[in-house]
């Protein structure tokens, strides 16, 4: 096989609970992650004389700092096989949005190279390699809703009976994940903003990173509170470290009026995406 195209999916965190800060500087967490149908990047692999990475989105690095490049070189190092491919990355998942785009691209690179080279590395071994690059990369290897624990690298796939439509909203700014975690311990809640767990389809939705992120980025707190108060919405929450805030809808037909109202009253430049399950 000389060419292959794969579609790394976005994710949201239905629940993200931080237990404590670990001695290694990371945070012990427990998070429920849900892949988002219809929101993917595109990665095309074509056999070439040497490895190159190209991207259609300005500002996305194509050097060794990109997780796709790092995943490819780690795969080469651990298998002893040369991965000489021209990789073309088309970005559809917003950057710095709490949707896991870069991590998903890296995971899909591991899976694609495993197939292209005929190496057949077992999934648990790939997950071990992926965890060395980033704590949230292994979860994307399983292509399933998952509970993630530890730093996020301990993945437990599950059959999640989720059917409620989810509407994503992202402002023009992005948020650094390391920054958000670094502010968690000393952050304070904002008066009038709801941080409490809510329940949808017998799942408790909660995000402990809302506290530090909302403290600096007040617009996200206002966006969440606005969505909570709309008749089309069952609940609303920030995904991961932001800056995406999502609304769980009562019906997919409610998406259009809610988008129109939110853009009109809060920010006409908001990026939106509706996922149907």
Active site residues: 11, 136
DSSP character string of 91-105: --SPTTSSS-HHHHH
Question: Residue 164: how many CA atoms within 13 Å on its side-chain side?
Answer: 20
Say which residues have a Cβ less than 8 Å from residue 121's Cβ, sequence separation at least 6: 78, 79, 114
CA 77, chain centre distance (Å): 27
Tell me how far apart the alpha carbons of residues 237 and 221 are, in angstroms, rounded to a whole number.
9
């Amino acid at each position: 096989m000389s060419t292959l195209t794969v579609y790394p999916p976005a994710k949201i965190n239905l629940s993200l609970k931080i237990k404590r800060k670990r001695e290694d500087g990371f945070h012990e967490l427990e998070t429920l992650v849900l892949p988002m149908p219809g929101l993917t990047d595109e990665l095309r692999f074509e056999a070439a004389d040497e490895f190159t990475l190209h991207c259609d989105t300005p500002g996305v690095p194509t050097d060794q700092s990109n997780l796709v490049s790092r995943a490819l070189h780690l795969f080469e190092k651990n298998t002893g096989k040369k991965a000489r491919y021209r990789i073309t990355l088309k970005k559809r998942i917003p950057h710095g949005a709490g949707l896991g785009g870069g991590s998903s691209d890296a995971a899909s690179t591991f899976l694609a190279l495993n197939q292209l080279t005929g190496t057949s590395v077992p999934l648990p071994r790939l997950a071990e390699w992926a965890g060395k690059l980033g704590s949230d990369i292994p979860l994307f290897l399983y292509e399933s809703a998952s509970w993630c624990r530890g730093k996020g690298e301990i993945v437990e796939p599950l059959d999640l009976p989720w059917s409620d439509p989810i509407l994503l909203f992202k402002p023009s700014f992005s948020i650094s994940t390391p920054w958000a975690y670094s502010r968690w311990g000393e952050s304070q809640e904002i008066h009038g903003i709801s941080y409490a767990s809510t329940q949808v389809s017998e799942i408790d939705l909660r995000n402990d990173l809302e506290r530090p992120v909302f403290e600096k980025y007040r617009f996200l707190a206002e966006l969440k509170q606005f969505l909570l108060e709309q008749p089309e919405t069952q609940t609303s929450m920030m995904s991961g470290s932001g800056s995406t805030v999502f609304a769980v809808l009562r019906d997919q037909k409610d998406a259009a009026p809610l988008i129109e109202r939110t853009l009109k009253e809060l920010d006409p430049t908001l990026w939106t995406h509706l996922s149907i399950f």
